[in-house]
Structure 1
């Protein structure tokens, strides 16, 4: 070894050079990931088109169905990237699940929900937004559905890129409405239905937030603020898990199993009450055993909520796959049905190959692009722990049941994100209340300066405003985009 090579300064230089190579490798890996994701997505879209080419049993309109299948696959990818974050975000944010574990559970349960219980029958015009007879001809209807599908997918894609969780249901509604107006004028739109949907924009997130805040208040008052937290937890955690089991049993009976069996609301509530009671009784010895040896502090309580939270995330994913897969493949199924029979006035059942495109597309979209929105919902709006995340998951199930009772078409995105905001704003209010109480007990304590009070806010206002703005403009943005696309398609094909 030469003197220069043995010089410590030379070794330091070598270490720096190796570190640079290591950083370069990391940077290259980071740059490559989006490219890989886009490449896999493109391959999936092409395979969806090939599947349509092989499985569509007519030569007439084959090209149209192939293009529609590609658009349906693109929409499913975007639903996976944006919508599934609402189910998995709280569990990941609370550290009850790793990102990899969340994605694995969501892929399995979203696909199972879509294939087992998803898409029994899809109306030719989504949710009665426009009058079918106003379309005039099957070809006009097909172009309208194509425009609705593409516009909804583009809007959800943009929202995901901006980091805003939006409603894919409302994106499809906006797309169908815009294409309907472009094809047949404003009179074609069912405005009372649109009014009900608009009301749900306000009601569902506020209801979700209120229910989540109420359960967090219950947990704080009955467990966290008690002298003996573990003893309180032994009483209340089985009750809370029983309530969650009952709510999810009713939710799945009502919304997730429509294809297998039709269940009305009273029957679903009865099923939920029975299952909730059984789970409550079964959890009493389980929680007693889990809580043995735990220290009397808040950190110990988190372990008691982790498993229920993981189960709730899986059940939410199953129900989401069963219901929201229709957003991706509903217009596609309508196009396939109209292309086969020329009939666009009757309801269209979804072929199994169309369901597979939807199920796999949602899974691929989540796996490739979902982590961004999962982190947003799980940790960037407000800090979540297992107890707060439990309140969010439970609120999502209960709000859907209440909305079904009221007859409101709600968005799972609005409910879940509204519940996260509800938890965060309740924590702010509760912290402020406790500070005021402490000041009354100790008047000599100085109050916080305005800057310090703003810094202590527990909900990030920038995310709040971005998400609310995205929610407000989703339907009009998708409608304008869809109307424009319809005019372009119609003028080109006409």
Structure 2
């Protein structure tokens, strides 16, 4: 029964992860107006699922790291109660953030839960040195690196675009919405004494496109295709990086083949993204900084590069941190970043680890006494 509970806890974490994280890979597609929400989330689901399946062959090191090996004694890792406390602590933290609409890191939540349950179980025997070296340093450095690299990459691409004489054009897209307001008039003023509902609200939006051709093909069309490809790479990298972190908690279920664990997590993660990703998706797409397709492609390229490299080398970076860092780097160059929203997101990141740690501590204490 306790092993079934562990499997359910891991699936709850996978669902929460999908809800909070799946849209982040395609956020620039939606934010730049390259495509609508529905197409973006479907592309994210397909490519994230592909990355999750690829993790079976490419991410063994991450599976080991997030099982707790090296942080706590092997005897503790073999306790289902320990893994359940970690999974539920991280899942509850991510689920709450998703409901609020904050894009937090599942990786950060898992690290906090590992720390909380581990310290509650063994106190000072916990390997704090490995926690800092293997987990915390990559989590802190990666968003800063993403912001700097996306800033540099965008400046380089902008220079190349100008050299190729590809122009950037701005147009105003006007959307009309009909609203109903009461209007009373008389026959002497050419109207009737009846109530008619008529009022129009106009919402303008600036849309940036690229003019000119490259190799005889529209530069905008080339860029849109590259943008879709880069978004797919980011989502693939996220599936590759996040799936083994969750599956690592299932290692103690010896009766469950690790490949089937990966597939179960991948399916549940996809469902979470399809059903509950919109609130976080809108915030990360629209609220950090306005962007066009070229800027979105640049942010995605840097995010995909960093997350894929980290996954192959077993480094537990956060796709959330890297993605937000890349988008913020673009906003820094264009000087259109929203400092208030960035402040809120940073605050949620700071709170993630201690909240997850506290929840997992309490859960471990409760489950240990029950078991």
TM-score range, shorter chain: 0.7 to 0.9
Q: How many angstroms does 1:229 deviate by?
A: 2.5
Q: Detail structure 1 runs of 4+ shifted over 4 Å in the superposition.
A: 401-408
CA drift at 1:216? 1.3
Given that 1:129 and 1:173 are in contact with CA atoms closer than 8 Å, whether structure 2 keeps it comes out as no
1:473 equivalenced with 2:351 (yes/no): yes
Structure number with the higher helix fraction is 1
CA contact (8 A) 2:71 2:130 kept: no
State whether structure 2 residue 67 is matched by structure 1 residue 126.
yes
Separation in 2 of the partners of 1:67 and 1:413?
28
Of 39, 45, 54, which residue of structure 2 is paired with 1:101? 39
Secondary structure of the 1:204 match is helix
Residue 147 of structure 1: how far off its partner (Å): 0.3
The higher-RCO structure (CA 8 Å, 6+ apart) is 2
Contact 2:29 2:293 in 1 (8 A): yes
Choose which of 328, 338, 341 in structure 2 pairs with 1:463.
341
Give 1:164's match in structure 2, choosing from 72, 94, 102: 102
Root-mean-square deviation over aligned CA pairs: 2.6
Counterpart of 1:334 in structure 2 is 251
User: How big is each residue's C-alpha offset from its partner over 1:241-260, in whole Å with a ceiling of 9 and x where there is no partner?
Assistant: xxxxxxxxxxxxxxxxxxxx
* Whole-angstrom distance in 2 between the partners of 1:200 and 1:221: 31
Write the distance in 2 (CA, Å) between the matches of 1:77 and 1:407: 23
Query: 2:287 maps to what in 1?
Result: 380
Aligned to 1:290: 217
* Separation in 1, partners of 2:30, 2:145: 23
In the alignment of these two chains, the number of paired residues is: 324
Distance 2:272 2:362 in 1: 26
**CA 1:126–1:173: 2 relative to 1, 3 Å:** farther
Residues 171 and 474, structure 1, Cα contact 8 Å, conserved in 2: yes
Q: What secondary structure does 2:110 align onto?
A: helix
Distance 2:4 2:161 in 1: 57
Which consecutive residues of structure 1, in runs of 5 or more, have no partner in the other structure?
1-62, 233-285, 292-300, 341-347, 429-457
Cα deviation, 1:100-134, whole Å, max 9, x if unaligned, reads 11121122222222224437643286364622336
Q: Is the alpha carbon distance of 1:411 and 1:357 closer, same or farther for their aligned partners in structure 2, counting shifts above 3 Å? A: same
Q: Which residue of 2 aligns with 1:210?
A: 148
Is the Cα–Cα contact under 8 Å of residues 66 and 245 in structure 2 kept in the other structure?
A: no
Asked if the contact 2:237–2:307 (Cα under 8 Å) also holds between the matched residues in 1, the reply is no
With normalisation by structure 2, the TM-score equals 0.80
In the alignment, is residue 492 of structure 1 matched against residue 370 of structure 2?
A: yes
- Point out the structure with max Rg over C-alpha: 1
Paired residue for 1:175?
113
Q: Paired residue for 2:207? A: none
Partner Cα separation in structure 2 for residue 194 and residue 355 of structure 1: 27
Distance (whole Å) between structure 1 residues aligned to residue 106 and residue 29 of structure 2: 21
* Counterpart secondary structure, 2:251: helix
- Verify the 8 A CA contact 2:138 2:315 in the aligned structure 1: yes
SS at match of 1:182: helix
CA distance in structure 2 between the partners assigned to 1:154 and 1:305 by the alignment: 39
Contact (CA 8 Å) 1:114, 1:321: kept in 2 or not? yes
Q: Is the 8 A contact 1:302 1:385 kept in 2?
A: no
- Of the three residues 233, 236, 246, the one matched with 1:318 is 236
Q: Would you say the 8 A contact 2:19–2:272 is kept in 1?
A: yes
Q: CA deviation at 1:180?
A: 1.1
For residue 196 of structure 1, report the CA deviation from its aligned partner. Answer: 4.5
Q: Distance in 2 between matches of 1:381 and 1:192?
A: 33
Deviations 1:341-365 (A, max 9, x none): xxxxxxx96141x223211111111
Corresponding residue for residue 297 of structure 2: 390
TM-score of the superposed pair, with normalisation by structure 1: 0.61
Match of 1:422 among 315, 326, 329: 329
Number of the residue aligned with 1:87: 25
Unaligned 5+ segments in structure 2 are: 169-212
Shift of residue 405 of structure 1? 9.8
